[in-house]
Structure 1
Amino acid sequence: MSTKNLFSDEAKQKIKDLATDIDFAMFASGLKEYPIHMVPMSTKKVDEEGLIWFLSNRNSQHNQNINLNSAMHLVYSDASKMKFLNVFGQASITTNFEIIKELYKSTDDAWFDGVNDPNITAISVRPDQAFYWDPKNNTLVTLLKMGMGAITGDEPDLMDQGELNI
């Protein structure tokens, strides 16, 4: 495994690539309470500033937690592609209709009564610390290298990993 720390624009791009490719994150809030509150959330967008956006219900437990303490943790995992992203950051809630309208898709009708639902909020997450694991090759090549490593006893160099510093 090789370490490749990324900074600024490169880090923002890596977060965007992984978060949008994996899509669903386990969104943990209420980090000072035990057990922490954790729910799966679909990433709606990663903007040019590196903010990660979600839609949420104003009355949800995670919105309540963010109002008390903005610290949160996102865990993205796609084991089938061997891609992982771990983000600690600060969350903000907005009710700005233009932002909500931009993020809203017809699939969100499962959770909301349309884009005009008064309970919709948008959550942005500003990463403070992030770490990633990303395969150097496609899944088939990675699996072949793993198999060769198991046969030869050599540790294959399969993944790039590193910190993402925005």
Structure 2
Amino acid sequence: MSTKNLSNEEARQKIKELAESIDLTMMATNLKSEPFHVIPMSTKEVDAAGNIWFLSNKNSEHNQNIEKENKTQLIYADKGNFEFMSIYGRASISTDRNRIKELYGSGDDAWFDGVDDPNITAIKIQPDEAHYWDTKHGKVLSLLKMAKGAITGDEPDLGEQGNLKV
């Protein structure tokens, strides 16, 4: 796997590409404690600045953790396509009703009492450090390339990995 570190606009585009295609992430908060708190979250948007947005209940444990300490870790994994990304950053909570309405979708009705639910907040993660692993060809072709490499002794081109500096 080759290394390709990305910065600025390329890094923002890679974060957007992977976060929105993988969608579900494990969000870890309360990182200074053992065990830290982890919850699955659905990515709502990656904005032009590379910030990642989620919707959340204002009374949730992760919102409470973010209010105490804003350091957050996101782990994205799509094992079917062998795409992975880890993001460490700072979280902030917004109650801006316009922003919440922009992020809200009909699927969110399963978690909230409509877009006007007073308990909805938006969480913004501003990445400080990020790393990705992205195969170019998906799982099946990558496995075939690994097998070929094992037989021939050649190192297969399985894709790329690198740091993302926004």
Verify: 1:15 aligned to 2:3, yes or no.
no
Tell me by how many angstroms 1:47 deviates: 0.3
Structure 2 spans left out of the alignment, 5+ residues: none
Q: How far apart, in 1, do the equivalents of 2:143 and 2:20 lie?
A: 23
Equivalences for residues 151-166 of structure 1 within 5 A: 151-166=151-166
Q: Which moved more, 1:133-142 or 1:99-108?
A: 133-142
Verify: 1:115 aligned to 2:115, yes or no.
yes
Query: In the alignment, which residue of structure 2 is the partner of 1:43?
Result: 43
Tell me by how many angstroms 1:157 deviates: 2.0
Give secondary structure in 1 for the equivalent of 2:144. Answer: helix
Q: How far apart, in 1, do the equivalents of 2:91 and 2:111 lie?
A: 21
Structure 1 spans left out of the alignment, 5+ residues: none
Query: In the alignment, which residue of structure 2 is the partner of 1:4?
Result: 4
Give secondary structure in 1 for the equivalent of 2:116. Answer: coil
Please say if residues 79 and 139 of structure 2, whose CA atoms lie closer than 8 Å, have aligned partners that are also in contact.
no
Q: How far apart, in 2, do the equivalents of 1:125 and 1:161 lie?
A: 22
What is the TM-score of this pair, normalised by structure 1?
Answer: 0.97
Give secondary structure in 1 for the equivalent of 2:77. Answer: strand
Q: How far apart, in 1, do the equivalents of 2:23 and 2:49 lie?
A: 18
Kindly report structure 1 stretches of 4+ aligned residues shifted beyond 4 Å.
Answer: none
Verify: 1:27 aligned to 2:27, yes or no.
yes
What is the TM-score of this pair, normalised by structure 2?
Answer: 0.97
Q: Percent identity?
A: 58
Query: In the alignment, which residue of structure 2 is the partner of 1:92?
Result: 92
Aligned length: 166
Give secondary structure in 2 for the equivalent of 1:20. Answer: helix
Across the aligned residues of Structure 1 and Structure 2, the Cα RMSD in angstroms comes to 1.0
Query: In the alignment, which residue of structure 2 is the partner of 1:126?
Result: 126
Q: How far apart, in 2, do the equivalents of 1:60 and 1:140 lie?
A: 39
